[in-house]
Amino acid sequence: MDLIGWVIFLFALLFSVMLHETGHFVMAKKFGMKVTRYFVGFGPTLWSIRRGETEYGVKGLPFGGFVKIVGMTSLDDVDEPADEPRSFRSKPAWQRIIVLCAGSFMHFVLALVLLFILLAGVGVQSPSNASRLGAIIPCVPASSTAFADGTCTAADKPSPAKAAGLQAGDQVTTFGGKPVSTWTQLGNAISRARPGSPTTITVVRAGRTMTLHLTPAAVKGRSGGFLGIEANEVYSTVGPVRAVQTAGSTFWQILAGSAEAVKAVPSALPGLFSKNRANTAAGQVSSVVGLANSTGQEVASNVGWQSKVSFVLLLMAELNIFFGAFNLLPLLPMDGGHVAAIVWERIRAWFARRRGRPDPGLVDMTKLLPVSFSLFAVVILFSVLVVLADIVNPVNIAG
């Protein structure tokens, strides 16, 4: 099941990337630009087919995709002079900006669709007061902060519930020999339990009554006993109009959260390899490896299908919003950097007209290459560090 979760995440991520490239492709075709290649992946070509002037294909490394538009910048050579009028750089500025922004636009549309499906199809999660168990927390959190964040590290001990063999869906009937029928009663009984003192819990599972033995644990900074159980969640769908409204507001909340996450990156670096990473800003930073691992854990966890689907849909919506916004930053080599270059071209052209001078033309990309390469190197270096941290010092973000 962990492997299935990995496959689901990687497929969804690849689909998002190709949807981004499709945005560029469709708008470039719309404006009459010559698109010569549309490929999934990078590296050696595994398969391709030509339709008209465009070659479609699959590369050996499924880590993204690309669209090749003739004459993207002043550095690109146009093989046939007759193609120059159809090159990207020959088109009006507004058309070029639309083509560049189309990728992020597709990310945003996909995120809104996923949020709509989550709200109208899967439902909104809310706790039930029944004494039926929901998710089983796999560890004893190192502190109350880790408990609130729902994070586990490799150093944390298994939770009493996990050690005793409790499962999601178990209906608790007694705790410590006393009957319970609601989650409130069960929660009060657990909070009164003394950490370290063995006790019993009786559950009904698939029509069979079972009595299990466990020892409540203590969590630093939190009073009472700790078992590692969560309330069973119920899911209620909302109507289409409400789903659209809520999806829109959730979109902006996620966008604001993404901005805060980027601002917190410098403070996260020192904690990537620390033992208490989960309790630092580094615990909120994850790579593709970490997110895929968390998706695998969620899919493999003993929870209902709605919880698993909700996790995947929300995670992919958040990633698409983040990727879409990050790609629009006015920094090369992102699309936003190319948009900024086009805007600067038009500003220069306006000043030239005001002074009676000729249009200075395209931005000289050779002057911007050092900046582009430097930023690209920083992004790659940070990505590698986070990947390594997620391998040797992982943080579980699954619910």
DSSP string spanning 172-204? Answer: EEEETTEE--BHHHHHHHHHHSPTT--EEEEEE
- Joined tokens for residue 27: 């708008």
CB 300 within 8 A of CB 292: no
21, 233, 298, 318: the catalytic one is 21
Residues 25-60 as b/e (b if ≥16 CB within 10 A, e otherwise) read: bebbeeeebbbebbbbbeeeeeeeeeeeebbeeebe
DSSP string, 285-348: ---HHHHHHHHHHHHHSSS-HHHHHHHHHHHHHHHHHHHHHHHTSS-TTSHHHHHHHHHHHHHH
Residue 24's nearest CA partner among 340, 334, 353, 292 is 334
Neighbours of 265 (CB within 10 A): 14
| CB-based contact 292:6 (threshold 8 Å) | yes
- β-sheet bridge partners, residue 32: none
233 among known catalytic residues: no
The number of residues making up the chain comes to 399
Residues tagged active-site:
21
